[in-house]
Chain A
Amino acid sequence: MSGALADVRVIDATGPIGHYAGRLLADLGADVIKVEPPGGDPARLYRPALPDVAAPEAGLQFLLLNANKRGAVLDLDDDRGRSALLRLAAGADVVLESWRPQEARRLRLTDAELREVNPALIHTSVTGFGLSGPHAEWAYADIVGVAMSGVMNLAGFPDGPPESLPDHQGYHCASLDAAAGTLTALLHRDLGGPGQLVEVSMQEALSIAQETALQNYDIRDALLRRLGEASQVNPMNLPGFGLYECREGMVYIMTTGTAGAGFAGLVEMMDEHGQAGDLKEEPSWSFIQTQMDGANLRRLLTDEESQAETQRFLDHLEELVTAFMRAHPARYIYEEGQRRRVLVGLIATPADISADPHLAAREWFIELEDASRGKTLRYPGFPFRLQETPATLRRPAPLLGEHTSEVLAEAGLDAGEIAALEVTA
């Protein structure tokens, strides 16, 4: 075994909100045992699914976020299942779970009960709203966390609904903080610190992703809301800033700032294609080279004397930039623009990312055989590269109950006890 956490054992009894936390610890080398209820984790049945593989082994969200884990099925509502979990907890460094307080009490698996069998345990709880406060028992889903945190209020068009974020960002943020908190407690314990409870609320984990909404209210009494095309990032909808349609695909560009080659860099690129119009002529060129930062433009656009003329000039720029973008493929604008230090990003589709030459050169994707499902799956790579203790992908997600007897035997249960538990499950 390798990895910085190779000596760490984690019992992961979370639902979908915590899957990514367990996966991150497993990637770093921990032995993570996913504990599921008899019917399996709900995400096993979520679409999209692997083709030609029967439920409950095909759900791709489950497969992705539970790779690198072993799997055991335990009926925690049954006394024997509960005792088995406590046996696993007694031999573990970390128990990761997502029960609301009442649920933990009903299961008789509260922090105190877990700690009784293992005082040194790091017990990480990750739920929608945390373990205290008037909403501690509230039912949660990813979209509910994004809504209540203030993040959803910032996404979308002014005349349309607020928008949640794709691919479970509420769950991901909660899981990231859960993994981070777990490691923090572990490093403390390594030096003689205590076992303890680490607690994560999805609503709180997302809050910092409100960007400056809290500070705008606190400092300026201003409430930000969704702005569509303009967005908080570019509230004045300046030219050369935002989304542009290209001959194939689209790009997001940020040239009205001080970073990179700026708007002038974009004009140089347009000029090389004979598409800069009169922008290289004076006084336009001097203005472009010295005046095109957001703060300055804001000043010119709010000053009555310069307002109309500035707006006319910006409209002219917008027209030329739009025409230039439409004439070239998005990937060309992205790669050629970036080579010139123009801040531009491709609006990437999953297909674009899958075939991205940079990710390919960095050998980011990982292929791993999944013998039980009769497939070799292509996995997205890791979010970080540790030179000496790299993350590794060692096994596909477990089949339902695949390692139940194995992990129970390791925990010291005899064959009879294990057989009884498998019947219960």
Chain B
Amino acid sequence: MTGTSATESPLAGVKVLDLSWFGAGPIAGRALAAAGADVIKVETVKRIDGLRAMAPRPRGARGYNLSGYFNNYNANKRSVTIDLTTERGHELGLVLIRWADVMLTNMTNRAVKQVGMGWETVSRENPRLVAVYMPMMGTTGPHRDFQGFGAMLTAICGMNYLAGFAENRPVGVGTNYPDYVVNPMHAYIATLAALRHARRTGEGQMIDVSQDESSVAAMSLPLFAHDNGGGAYLRAGNRVPYAAPHGAYRTQDTPDRSDRWVALACLDEEHWRTLAAGICGHPEWTDDARFSTLASRLSNQDSLDRLIADWAAGQQGAEVVRRLQLAGIPAGLVQDAREMLEDPHIGERGYFVQLDHAEAGLRWYDGPGWRMTESPVSLDRAAPMLGEHTFDVALDLLGLSADEIADLVAEGVLQ
């Protein structure tokens, strides 16, 4: 890698072989790509990224290039189809290993073995390589071959047990939550640390991101409390043990929006006094022995929440948020995806980006998770179609001739 100038992407010149699929791996690769790394995603037609086959796709449409789920997580990447389970395909995979600075995979340990991309092999080919393995339970230990998706990780990491209200069953948070930020970004952070070490010393390394450990790390306060005499955490809905009121309260239905909820948090006594007296018009609440201190409010949360809920039921949601924010109280609407997309604040900041895709058309993508003032972090190319770049990569990086490529396609090694 050569010196970079201020206008270059921060990770310009970094080469990534992305052997990941579904959520957590591809999103880590997408973040590297947004920061300017050249990310080549390798799939095989035998085993494509499972998200390619998943909803949402346009009504009635079929095909592996249309899934909004897949496309959002694979922007800015190139797609190459090589069957790594064939001898020739594996050789070509190793050419890419020698090309790469980083290899990334969230396949199971079994699948990694099947495609011959274990640490012993890849480090022999490229001692400078940073190889990131993200199997669900890590690369070692008695449960190393346990497998699953994000919705199972929310169970294993303790999130189901603690999410939601005590009277309901612990069904989880409605999504494969750890897949989207927690696990990919832990992997990204570890990758950059290792890349820094490799640049300085020429020494690559293996990174083991057990998605179990990574998810528990982001759910670790209840565990830390349990292990150190801090008491048991219980399922507490929208409450926290250090602030009250703290929750979501339903406001009036309007002609264009029912099920309107406002989230608010009184993080200090001033927030509470302002809410009671200034916003709700009930200064006497703050003198009520049940609510006069944080400790008393925490002990009387049912009564407290009923007061706030009764008051909120007669209010208009957006207006309440406006008044709460003017008064300096943390508050916001529980927005749905359309409101998030049309949020004027988000719009002015240009968070979502619209990218044009040959088959899927002009679609909205999540933008990068952070911004940098001097070197661009951006998503500007829609997700690749399956194998879109096979020919180019075979020609330029694998050093194959057009005839050789045709033969390999005929043999099913390249697709």
Contact A212–B69 (Cβ < 8 Å):
yes
A382 and B268 CA atoms in complex are apart in Å by 32
A418 interface hit (Cβ, 8 Å): no
Q: Are B219 and A206 in contact (CB under 8 A)?
A: no
Residues of chain B within 8 A of A338, CB atoms compared: 143, 145-147
Which partner residue on chain B sits nearest A234 by CB separation?
A: B151
Does B217 touch A at the CB level, under 8 Å? yes
Q: How far is the CA of A24 from the CA of B189 in the complex (A)?
A: 8
**Chain A's nearest CB lies how many Å from the CB of B315?**
16
- The smallest C-beta distance from B166 to any residue of chain A, in angstroms, reads 12
A241-267 with Cβ < 8 A to chain B: 242-243, 250-252, 254, 258-260
Given A164-B248, A199-B370, A383-B186, A42–B267 Cβ distance below 8 Å? yes
Cβ-defined partner of B68 (8 Å) among A218, A347, A365: A218
* CB-contacts of B378-401 with A (<8 A): none
Cβ of B174 and Cβ of A354 under 8 Å apart?
Answer: no
Question: Taking the complex as formed, is B56 at the interface, i.e. its CB lies under 8 A from any CB of chain A?
Answer: yes
The interface-forming segment of A68-76, A128-136, A401-409 is A128-136
Which of chain B's residues have a CB closer than 8 A to the CB of A233? 149, 151, 172, 174-176
Q: Is the CB of B181 within 8 A of A254?
A: no
Q: How far is the CB of A174 from chain B (nearest CB, A)?
A: 9
Does A350 lie within 8 Å of B225, measured CB to CB? yes
Q: Is the CB of B57 within 8 A of A219?
A: yes
Give the 10 A-B CB pairs with smallest separation, nearest first: A215-B68, A181-B370, A147-B263, A141-B265, A345-B152, A188-B10, A48-B230, A46-B242, A177-B369, A384-B190
Per-residue B-contact encoding for A254-285, CB less than 8 Å = 1, 0 else: 10001110000000000000000000000000
Q: Does A85 contact B (CB under 8 A)?
A: no
Query: Could you tell me if B375 and A196 are in contact, using CB atoms closer than 8 angstroms?
Result: yes
Closest chain A residue, CB of each to CB of B159: A166
Indicate with 1 or 0, residue by residue over A310-343, a CB within 8 angstroms of chain B CB atoms: 0000000000000000000000000100100101
User: Which of chain B's residues have a CB closer than 8 A to the CB of A190?
Assistant: 196, 199
Q: Quick one: which of A154, A184, A208, A229 contacts B366, CB cutoff 8 A?
A: A208
- Would you call B250 and A161 a contact (CB within 8 A)? yes
A380 touches B137 (CB 8 A): no
How many angstroms between the C-alpha atoms of A132 and B331 in the bound complex?
18
A167 to B339, CA, bound (A): 25
B218 at the interface (CB under 8 A from A): yes
Q: Is A395 close to B, CB under 8 A?
A: no
Instruction: Judge whether B18 is part of the interface by a CB distance below 8 angstroms.
Output: no
Q: Are B10 and A377 in contact, CB atoms less than 8 angstroms apart?
A: no
| Docked-complex contact B218 and A163, CB < 8 angstroms | no
Contacts A185-B10, A196-B373, A378-B224 known; 19 new A-B pairs at CB < 8 A:
A4-B197, A156-B164, A163-B237, A193-B374, A201-B349, A211-B176, A214-B340, A214-B352, A219-B68, A231-B172, A232-B174, A243-B169, A243-B170, A254-B151, A350-B222, A353-B223, A354-B227, A362-B138, A383-B190
B232 proximal to A (CB < 8 A) = yes
Residues of A within 8 A of B341 (CB): 214, 217-218
Contact at A226–B174, with CB atoms within 8 Å?
Answer: yes
**Residue B348 is within 8 A (CB to CB) of chain A in the complex:** yes
Chain B, range 237-281, C-beta contacts under 8 Å to A: 237-238, 240-243, 246-248, 250, 259, 261-265, 267-268
Contact A347 B348 (CB under 8 A): no
Tally of A interface residues using CB under 8 Å? 156
Q: Which of B71, B156, B163, B250 contacts A348 (CB 8 A)?
A: B156
CA gap between A380 and B221 in the complex, in Å: 9
A344 at the interface (CB under 8 A from B): yes
Decide if B259 touches A225 in the complex (CB within 8 Å): yes
Bound state CA distance, A357 and B206, in angstroms?
24
Contact of A155 with B348 at beta-carbon distance under 8 Å, contacts A150-B336, A350-B233, A384-B208 already known: no
Whether A343 and B149, one on each chain, are in contact in the complex, defined by CB atoms closer than 8 angstroms, is: yes
List, sorted by A's number, 13 A–B pairs whose CB atoms are closer than 8 Å.
A130-B349, A147-B333, A148-B263, A148-B340, A155-B172, A194-B375, A201-B351, A212-B56, A242-B171, A258-B50, A353-B157, A380-B216, A387-B208
A167-B220, A191-B4, A215-B69 as given contacts; A139 in contact with B152, CB under 8 Å: no
Q: Which of the listed residues B71, B155, B374 has the most CB atoms from chain A within 10 Å of its own CB?
A: B155
Q: In the bound complex, do residue A166 and residue B163 qualify as a contact, i.e. CB atoms below 8 Å apart?
A: yes
On chain B, the residues within 8 Å of A348 by CB distance are 155-158, 161
B51-75 Cβ-contact flags toward A at 8 Å (1 or 0): 0000111110000000011011000
The yes or no answer to B409 lying at the interface (CB within 8 A) is: no
| Contact of B205 with A140 in the complex, beta carbons under 8 Å | no
Q: Is A223 an interface residue (CB 8 A)?
A: yes
CB of B412 within 8 Å of the partner chain: no
- Once the chains bind, are A252 and B151 in contact (CB under 8 Å)? yes
A377 and B230 CA atoms in complex are apart in Å by 11
Contact between A210 and B340 (Cβ–Cβ < 8 Å)? yes
Answer yes or no: A149 CB below 8 A from chain B CBs. yes
Query: Would A163 and B141 count as touching, CB distance under 8 A?
Result: no
- A346→B203 CA distance, assembly (Å): 39
Q: Are B217 and A382 in contact (CB under 8 A)?
A: yes
B314 within 8 A of A: no
CB <8 Å contact, A378 and B227: yes
Q: How far is the CA of A295 from the CA of B235 in the complex (A)?
A: 34
Nearest residue (CB) in B for A357 is B142
Are A218 and B331 touching (Cβ within 8 A)?
no
A80 within 8 A of B: no
Q: Is the CB of B152 within 8 A of A343?
A: yes
B289 is an interface residue with CB less than 8 A from chain A: no
Q: Which residue of B lies closest to A191 (CB)?
A: B4
User: How would residues 350 to 367 of chain A score, 1 for a CB under 8 Å from any chain B CB and 0 otherwise?
Assistant: 111110011101101100
How far apart are the CA atoms of A141 and B330 in the complex, in Å?
6
The verdict on B364 contacting chain A, using a C-beta distance below 8 Å, is: yes
Asked if A411 is at the interface (CB within 8 A of a chain B CB), the reply is: no
A386-B164 in contact (CB<8A): no
Whole-angstrom distance between the alpha carbons of A89 and B197 in the complex? 25
Whether B325 contacts A134 by the Cβ 8 Å rule is no
> Can you name the residue of chain A whose Cβ is closest to the Cβ of B163?
A166
Complex interface: chain B residues within 8 A of A210 (CB): 175, 337, 340
Chain B residues with Cβ under 8 A from A399's Cβ? none
> Are B4 and A192 in contact, with the CB atoms below 8 A?
yes
Interface assignment of B11: CB less than 8 Å from any CB of chain A: yes
Which residue of A is nearest B34, CB measured? A184
B195 — nearest CB in chain A belongs to which residue? A187
A148 to B341, CA, bound (A): 11
Contact A61 B221 (CB under 8 A): yes
Q: Least Cβ distance of B297 to chain A in Å?
A: 13
Q: Which residue from B154, B161, B182, B261 sits with its C-beta under 8 Å from A176?
A: B182
